[in-house]
Structure 1
Amino acid sequence: MTVSEAVRPIHSPRPEEPDGELIRAAIDGDRRAVGSLLALLRPIVFRYCAGRLGGTTRGISSADDCAQEVLMAVLLALPRYNYRDDSFLPYVFGIASHKVADVRRNLARDPSAPVPDPEPDQDGPWNPTFEEVEKADRSRRMSRLFKFLSAKQRDVLVLRVILGFSAEETAVALGMASAGAVRVTQHRALNELRRVLREDPGFADGLALF
């Protein structure tokens, strides 16, 4: 056993996460297991993509498309996937990270690409409330702040802050050596964001960094 294996946290899947039995059944081609696995992964993957791409209408639309591509990639890869304990979520997040990077490149190349308007509800046209507009503005600024971080730092903050993972769960999901490594990465990421906010106070309005 290596030192990193010795300190690696023991992970018990949350109720909303796939367990080893379901993953193995899906790999073996059980259609019901495949459907259940993708259903469990979809909200996790979508929230990850949305956290990385921002909370604007454009970001949410892109996150939904991105999540679909991630799930399709997982589906196609399942028959060839060699399952090991605690290896599946890091694998999925690895795919998601690459897909998010692809989406970011595409958005940068064509920032004017149209995004569908929100669907109207039964009461008439979509009219955002002040709170919804304010939340979208905060999400835009947070997305801009994330550009100052490394990919690993962004992933840690998304999982810890947006998805609410513990340090131990984040270590498992990202394939990091220990919960301590997660906390160090999170600490450095927050310090970097605080530095940016000190240099440009305009970013800070309405944003809280814990």
Structure 2
Amino acid sequence: MTAATSTAPATPVAAPSRRKVTGMSDTAPEPASPDPLDELADAAASGDPDALGELLARLRPVIVRYCRARLGTVSHRHASADDVAQEVMLAVLGSLSRYRATGAGFLAFAYGIAANKVADAHRRRASDRSHPVAELPDVPGRHGPDPEQHAERVELHHQMRRMLGLLTAQQRDVLVLRVATGLSVAETATALSTTPGAVRIAQHRGLNRLRAELSSGSGTNSFPAARLD
């Protein structure tokens, strides 16, 4: 007679423990701090005169530097860079009530207007075959540069425009905003509606392109390369 085989009860299998993934947090990330210019623009659009004055005071130097970098400081038959900057400021002021409907930050909103005004100025200049108007004083001296200094300034402007023309549109815009207007990486990214990483890449490639041009001997020794570092 065969003995019955006793079967031991099966040992229950423990459920795998849920281990917390490293780097994950139950806490939601803190929202980014609002941009001061956005706050001023919101207040100005709501009718706050003090906010409007502060907003325009902060914006104007940036717009003037941008227009001068893109158009130069030599007067032209149609409009100087400062004239275009004034057009930009008036356009920003006139469009402020519609700013929030764009969904963009104020700096990107203002830069878009400035870029369009500069493009219009370039088109007007391209259609005009006349030469820029020389801002030469009747008597050289304290009232302005002498003819030689003026000629050097005009030549430097042409050389800088030629160098910037070697870059892609993104590289040129990044370098103009970073170098000429003095915006930070974050501010430049906001103005161009891109990321800080993309700004750094465009800046790096643009600077390398300019340095390669200068080292090849086809650039100009007068080009202010030190300002691009």
Query: Which TM bucket (shorter chain)?
Result: 0.7 to 0.9
Superposition deviation, residue 32 in structure 1: 3.7
Q: Which has the higher contact order (CA 8 A, sep 6+)?
A: 1
The equivalent position to 2:193 in structure 1, one of 157, 170, 175, is 175
Question: What is aligned with 2:202?
Answer: 185
TM-score (norm: length of structure 2): 0.70
Question: What is aligned with 1:206?
Answer: 222
User: Do structure 1's residue 88 and structure 2's residue 98 form an aligned pair?
Assistant: no
SS in 2 for 1:205: coil
Say how many residue pairs are matched: 194
- Distance in 2 (alpha carbons) for counterparts of 1:150 and 1:87: 24
User: Do structure 1's residue 106 and structure 2's residue 124 form an aligned pair?
Assistant: yes
* More off after superposition, 83-92 vs 164-173: 83-92
C-alpha contact (below 8 Å) 2:37/2:55 kept by paired residues: no
Alignment RMSD (CA, Å)? 3.3
The letter for the 1-side match of 2:164 is F
C-alpha contact (below 8 Å) 1:67/1:96 kept by paired residues: yes
> Structure 1: any 5+ residue segments left out of the alignment?
1-9
> Structure 2: any 5+ residue segments left out of the alignment?
1-31
- Distance in 2 (alpha carbons) for counterparts of 1:53 and 1:112: 16
Within 5 A, what are the aligned runs for 1:136-151?
136-151=154-169
Within 5 A, what are the aligned runs for 1:128-139?
128=146, 134-139=152-157
The letter for the 2-side match of 1:30 is D
If each structure's helix is expressed as a fraction of its own residues, which one has the higher value? 1
Superposition deviation, residue 146 in structure 1: 1.2
Instruction: State the identity as a percent.
Output: 44
- Distance in 2 (alpha carbons) for counterparts of 1:175 and 1:39: 23
